[in-house]
Each structure stands twice: as structure tokens, then as C-alpha cells.
């Protein structure tokens, strides 16, 4: 019987985690690193991931960060080109970056709706399209979509 470490061994894998600098995204980044994956943390702001990269590296794992606003197609294109140039592949994409806004459907501001949809739907789509394209060419890869994107819609539409 295989051990847990053997079942979840990610040695030699390259993982990209959007929104990976804090909260659940940071926990996901740490877990992937502990399982042996090299982790690339994406965040809109460089200052969000500097400390976290140092923390993961101090644990003896490979990690780096890249500035990427997933709602900006050019940023996502730059991320994709960077991954191809520096690593030649992407094995795992974790779409964790998400936005929420607590309000009932009747009080939900349109600008906040646009932000949630642009981040949770369009941003996730852009990352899947760009990094998924790399995976298709390499004929392997895994894409995970954090349930928060789905939960946001339930919260918004819950009456």
C-alpha cells in the first residue's frame, strides 16, 4: 500500500497558484511546495508575495512570485510566455484568485458585480486558456478551480 507522501508526491512538478500569496491560496502554495512541486505564486501586487516566497523557501522548498492581474489579458499573456521561457511547461494550475462582495441581490452594486465577474469568471477563463494551452501542447497537466468562484454566484443569487 502506498503512503500518503507517495500518493501526493509532486517532485519535479511546476505549479502556478493565482492569488497564492495569502489566505487559502498561501496554504495551497505551501502544500504544493511541501509535496515537492516548485511553486509560482501569482498576485496583483509584488508586496503581497515577497514575504510568502521567503517563508516557503525557508522551509527548504522552491518558490517564486510573478506579478499578474488575472483580469488583465496582457498580464496573463506575460505569465504564459514566462512559464514557457523559464520552465518549458506548467503541470498544475490552481485558479484561486477571486473577488467577493457581501450584499443581497437587491443591493448589489453593479461595479462590484463587474469586479466579481471579471475576476472569478473572466480571469479564471484567461488563465485556463493561456496556461491550459501549454498543457495541451505538452499533452498533460491539471487545472483546479477553487470553489469560491462558484460560491460567489450562490451568495449573489441567494435570496
Q: Domains of the chain, with CATH numbers?
A: 11-157 (3.40.50.720)
**pLDDT cut 90: percent of the chain above it:** 69
Distance between CA atoms of 23 and 158, rounded to whole angstroms? 24
99-108, 109-118, 133-142: lowest mean pLDDT where? 99-108
Distance between CA atoms of 143 and 56, rounded to whole angstroms? 22
Mean pLDDT of 48-65: 91
Residue 91's pLDDT is 97
- What is the crossing angle of helices 73-86 and 124-138, to 10°? 30
Residue 1's pLDDT is 74
Please indicate whether residue 31 or residue 8 has the higher confidence score (pLDDT): 31
* SS3 track for the chain: CCCHHHHCCCCCCEEEEECCCCHHHHHHHHHHHHCCCEEEEEECCHHHHHHHHHHHHHCCCCEEEEECCCCCHHHHHHHHHHHHHHCCCCCEEEECCCCCCCCCCCCCCHHHHHHHHHHHHHHHHHHHHHHHHHHHHHCCCEEEECCHHHHHHHHHHCC
The pLDDT of residue 134 is above 60: yes
Residue 159's pLDDT is 37
Confidence of residue 42 (pLDDT cuts 50, 70, 90): very high
The pLDDT of residue 111 is above 70: yes
The pLDDT of residue 49 is above 90: no
Residue 101's pLDDT is 82
Cell digits for 74?
Answer: 496582457
Query: In 3D, which of 151, 156, 142, 145 has the Cα closest to residue 123?
Result: 145
Residue 102's pLDDT is 84
Amino acid at each position: 500500500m502506498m503512503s500518503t507522501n507517495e500518493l501526493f508526491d509532486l517532485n519535479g512538478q511546476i505549479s502556478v497558484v493565482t492569488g497564492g500569496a495569502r489566505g487559502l491560496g498561501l496554504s495551497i502554495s505551501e502544500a504544493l511546495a511541501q509535496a515537492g512541486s516548485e511553486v509560482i505564486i501569482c498576485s496583483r501586487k509584488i508586496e503581497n508575495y515577497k514575504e510568502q516566497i521567503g517563508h516557503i523557501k525557508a522551509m527548504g522548498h522552491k518558490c517564486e512570485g510573478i506579478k499578474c492581474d488575472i483580469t488583465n489579458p496582457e498580464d496573463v499573456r506575460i505569465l504564459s510566455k514566462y512559464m514557457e521561457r523559464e520552465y518549458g511547461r506548467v503541470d498544475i494550475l490552481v485558479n484561486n484568485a477571486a473577488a467577493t462582495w457581501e450584499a443581497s441581490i437587491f443591493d448589489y452594486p453593479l461595479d462590484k458585480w463587474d469586479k466579481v465577474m471579471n475576476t472569478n469568471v473572466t480571469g479564471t477563463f484567461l488563465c485556463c486558456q493561456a496556461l491550459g494551452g501549454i498543457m495541451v501542447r505538452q499533452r498533460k497537466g491539471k487545472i483546479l478551480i477553487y470553489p469560491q468562484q462558484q460560491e460567489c454566484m450562490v451568495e449573489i443569487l441567494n435570496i
